[in-house]
C-alpha cells in the first residue's frame, strides 16, 4: 500500500462550499450594536473544535461578524482542540503580546511508534516494544525536559527557511538542517498511564512544539512516541473555561 502524502498544510481541513459551514453565508441578521462593538475591538475566546484550522475559524468569524480586521493569537493544529484567542478591531494590536504569553496544554502521547509529523497527521511507523516502560521510567524521563531546553522543531512545520515553509521542503524530500531553539518547559507532569497511551499536562513558553516534546520523550525511553491528542487549556491569563463554542458564539450575535 502506498504511503499517503502527509502534512497538515496539504491535508488540513480543506473545505468546499458544498460541505462546509465555514463558507456558508450567515442565515441571520446580526445585531448592529453587537457588530459595532466588534468593529471597534474585542477579544473572543473560542474553544476550537477538532479538524478545524485556526484560519478556518478566522474565516468563519469574519463572515459572521461582517468585519475585515480580525486575527488569532497563536495557531492550533487541526488535530488540536482548545483555546484560540481571536482579536478584532483595536485589539489586533495586542496579538503579538498574547502570542508571547505562557501556554498550558493537556494531551496524550502514544508509545511504541513514531510518525514523520510527530502526530497523527501521518501514519505510525517503526513500531517497537514498549512493555518495559514503567511509571518510574516515565517520571525520570520527563524530568530531563523541565526547565530551559534546546528543542528541535518538527521538519513538518510552518517555520520558514529562506522564505519557504519547512513542510514544503520536506514534502519534496529535500534535506533540511534543523537548528535547535531555546524553549522553557515550566511544568511537565504525567496525569495517567494506560500503555501505550500516556496522558500529560505541560506549561511552556511560546514557540514550544508539543509534538516535538512527545517525540523526544519517545526517543529518550528508546521505544518512540507520537502526539495522539492535544488541547490548549490556557494562554497567559486567558483560560479555556472562559471560552465558548462556535455555536454558542453565533447565538450571541443574533437579533433577539
pLDDT tens, residue by residue, 10-24? 333 333 333 344 445
Query: Does some domain include residue 256?
Result: no
Q: Is the pLDDT assigned to residue 228 strictly greater than 80?
A: yes
Query: Does some domain include residue 3?
Result: no
The CATH number of residue 55's host domain is 3.30.70
Same domain, 60 and 135: no
Provide the pLDDT confidence category of residue 32 given band limits of 50, 70 and 90. confident
Active-site option among 77, 119, 162, 237: 77
pLDDT tens, residue by residue, 35-70? 899 999 999 999 999 999 999 999 999 999 999 999
Distance CA 110, CA 124 (A): 10
Tell me the β-bridge partners of 125.
114
Q: Is the pLDDT assigned to residue 159 strictly greater than 80?
A: no
In a 10 Å sphere around its CB, with 0-12 CB exposed, 13-18 middle and 19+ buried, how is residue 72 labelled? buried
Residues 6+ apart with CB under 8 A from 105: 82, 201, 202, 204, 210, 230, 231, 232, 233
Q: Is the pLDDT assigned to residue 184 strictly greater than 50?
A: yes
Neighbours of 138 (CB within 10 A): 19
Contact present, 38 and 67 (Cβ < 8 Å)? yes
Same domain, 113 and 69: no
Same domain, 48 and 115: no
Residue 68's domain comprises 8-100+239-251
Contact present, 118 and 241 (Cβ < 8 Å)? no
pLDDT tens, residue by residue, 120-151? 999 999 999 999 999 999 999 999 999 999 99
Same domain, 78 and 118: no
Q: 242 catalytic, yes or no?
A: no
Q: Is the pLDDT assigned to residue 178 strictly greater than 60?
A: yes
Structural domain count, the chain: 2
Amino acid at each position: 500500500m502506498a504511503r499517503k502524502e502527509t502534512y497538515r498544510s496539504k491535508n488540513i481541513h480543506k473545505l468546499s462550499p458544498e460541505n462546509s459551514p465555514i463558507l456558508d453565508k450567515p442565515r441571520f441578521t446580526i445585531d448592529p450594536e453587537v457588530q459595532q462593538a466588534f468593529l471597534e475591538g474585542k477579544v473572543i475566546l473560542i474553544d476550537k473544535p477538532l479538524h478545524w484550522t485556526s484560519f478556518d475559524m478566522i474565516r468563519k468569524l469574519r463572515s459572521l461578524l461582517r468585519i475585515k480586521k480580525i486575527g488569532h493569537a497563536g495557531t492550533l493544529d487541526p488535530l488540536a482542540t482548545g483555546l484560540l484567542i481571536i482579536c478584532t478591531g483595536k485589539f489586533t494590536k495586542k496579538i503579538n503580546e498574547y502570542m508571547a504569553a505562557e501556554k498550558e496544554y493537556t494531551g496524550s502521547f502514544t508509545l511504541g511508534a513514531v510518525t514523520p509529523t510527530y502526530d497523527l497527521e501521518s501514519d505510525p511507523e517503526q513500531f517497537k516494544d514498549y512493555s518495559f516502560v514503567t511509571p518510574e521510567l516515565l517520571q525520570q524521563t520527563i524530568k530531563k525536559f523541565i526547565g530551559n531546553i534546546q528543542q528541535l522543531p518538527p521538519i513538518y512545520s510552518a517555520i520558514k527557511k529562506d522564505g519557504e515553509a519547512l513542510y514544503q521542503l520536506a514534502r519534496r524530500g529535500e534535506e533540511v538542517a534543523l537548528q535547535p531553539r531555546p524553549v522553557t518547559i515550566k511544568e511537565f507532569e504525567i496525569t495517567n498511564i494506560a500503555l501505550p497511551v500516556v496522558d500529560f499536562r505541560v506549561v511552556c513558553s511560546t514557540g514550544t512544539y508539543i509534538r516535538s516534546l512527545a517525540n523526544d520523550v519517545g526517543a529518550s525511553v528508546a521505544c518512540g512516541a507520537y502526539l495522539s491528542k492535544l488541547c490548549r487549556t490556557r494562554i497567559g491569563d486567558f483560560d479555556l473555561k472562559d471560552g465558548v463554542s462556535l455555536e454558542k458564539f453565533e447565538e450571541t450575535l443574533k437579533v433577539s
